[in-house]
Amino acid sequence: MRIIPLSTLILIAFAPSTVAQTWNVEATLLSDRWQYPFNFTPGSRQSGPLFILNATDAENFNRRDGLAIVEWELELPPDAPADYEITEATLTFWDRRQAQYMIGTFTDEGIEQRLEVFPARFSHPYSEETWEGTEPYVGSDGTGPNPRNPYPIDLVTSASVENNVETSTPWAIGEPEGYTPGAMTDAFPIHFRFDMTNPTIQQEFRLDLQSGLSTWFVSATFSIDVIDTAEIPQILFAEAVSNTGFGTSQQPPSLELTLSQVDVPLSNEHWDLYE
């Protein structure tokens, strides 16, 4: 029988912990588009106003009338571990310097005005694999209530939220960085940071990594009468990077994913002090 000296056990117990290695996923922007029934240049606009309609105005339209849909191609690092967890996930979009909207205020119907994101789902004939962002709009367009395709889904129920602004649960809430309404001199970023301890969110991004594609809707629960206004968010697309009228710092929409290795628990035999 061999006994491990007490001094050795003390060294093991108080040995400094090592910093866990992380890996960053490469996310390449494939398409960004304003998803709105009267967008006659899909996939080539520089910006997309985000807004909802009041229930009384949405009889023949979707409540989430002005949306943005953005798709990325994902590639795992070649040295990424086979067993991993996603520790951080952030979507970043930019808005123009002219913005004047007030986050946290309420619409006439009592809906809190904020920015939200939801993953996209596709129905025939569209699919995530073949989506290019220039396809004809499918959804309510004033001629009657029609389901959207593609469409955003709820975090809790997985149901479509194209017409639900009262009880829907977004996957993340937008946080503008350094934003003062009506006082911006440059474009500014809006970050959507996901809670990766939520198993549904963790699974969504893991499936995205398996498929190599990640597609998200950006929405805002601001109700308006006029679309072209500084009183609502207006997401900037890749085509707006060089437009100094919006600002000089804006970047294309981005997705950041960070992975860390999952430690496999040691078997009991590794903890035996005697042999």
Please write the tens of the pLDDT for every residue from 208-233: 999 999 999 999 999 987 676 899 99
Q: In the prediction, which pLDDT does 10 show?
A: 38
How far is Cα 215 from Cα 213, in angstroms, rounded to an integer?
A: 7
Give yes or no for residue 51 having a pLDDT over 50: yes
Domain for residue 172, yes or no? yes
Confidence of residue 19 (pLDDT cuts 50, 70, 90): low
Give yes or no for residue 2 having a pLDDT over 60: no
Mean pLDDT of 225-248: 92
Mean pLDDT, the chain, rounded, equals 90
Contacts of 27 (CB under 8 A, 6+ apart): 72, 73, 74, 75, 214, 254, 255, 256, 257
Q: In the prediction, which pLDDT does 144 show?
A: 79
Domain for residue 274, yes or no? no
Quote the number of domains for the chain: 1
Domain for residue 233, yes or no? yes
Domain for residue 243, yes or no? yes
> To which H or E segment does residue 220 belong?
strand 213-220
* Domain extent for 139: 26-263
Give yes or no for residue 192 having a pLDDT over 90: yes
Give yes or no for residue 275 having a pLDDT over 50: no
Domain for residue 14, yes or no? no
Q: In the prediction, which pLDDT does 273 show?
A: 42
pTM, 2 dp: 0.88
Domain for residue 5, yes or no? no
Lowest-pLDDT range of 106-115, 139-148, 243-252, 265-274: 265-274
Domain for residue 226, yes or no? yes
Domain for residue 231, yes or no? yes
Mean pLDDT of 166-171: 98
Is residue 236 within 8 Å of 187, Cβ to Cβ? yes
